[in-house]
Amino acid sequence: MTRRNDAIDAMIGVAAIGVKVGEASARAGLATAYVASRIPLVGAPLRAAADRVTADGHRVRQDAMARIEMTVDQVVESSLTVDMTDRVLRSPAMEHAIAHLASSPDLRKAITEQTTGMAEQTMEGVRRRSEALDEVTERTVRRWLHRSRPQET
């Protein structure tokens, strides 16, 4: 068991070294390209080529996104998906899962806490506004009657 773990750790270590080497190579390559793009005569065509590559990459990414969206729409709208969803929802496994979730104390606690938090927030808002209105109401009525607030004795 330990030997097997050691082997796995060694493989992961080798992979990590590979990643680091790759990253360093990429940095070196990019640095070279950056320097080359600054050299007169070579720099301008090199930058133009880089721009073309970037534009191609952008177009390919846009196309890919559009295709993915179209495919997802087709899958979601297909009757097969609806049938499968209905079948899953009717399945005993789903009922079991829902029953399990509904009886979960953690879930109930979370829902209770959320509800309580919302109620407290609402009441806090009502209290704040009421206090502000207390002052406004008294000021307004006193202004109408030209009376100042009496001082406590």
Partner 1 sequence: MAAPVATAGDLSTPAPAVGYAGVVSRAVALAIDAVVVEGTLLLIAGMLALVGSLAGGLQLGTTGKVVAAAAWTVATASYFVVCWSASGQTLGMRAMELRVITTLGATPRPSRSVVRVFWLGVCILTLFVGFVPVLFDARRRGVHDMIAGTLVVHAGRTPLP
Q: Which of 17, 14, 18, 11 is nearest to 3 (CA)?
A: 11
Question: Rounded to whole angstroms, what are the CA distances from 74 to 11, 46, 61?
Answer: 42, 42, 20
CA 9/CA 15 separation, integer angstroms: 10
Site size with partner 1, rule: CB under 8 A: 18
61 token code pair: 């990414």
Task: Indicate the residue among 77 and 152 with the shorter CB distance to partner 1.
Answer: 152
Smallest gap from Cβ 95 to partner 1, in A, equals 35
CA 35/CA 12 separation, integer angstroms: 34
Smallest gap from Cβ 116 to partner 1, in A, equals 13
Smallest gap from Cβ 108 to partner 1, in A, equals 24
138 touches partner 1 (CB under 8 A) = yes
Using CB under 8 A, list all residues that contact partner 1.
123, 126-127, 130-131, 133-135, 137-138, 141-142, 147, 149-153
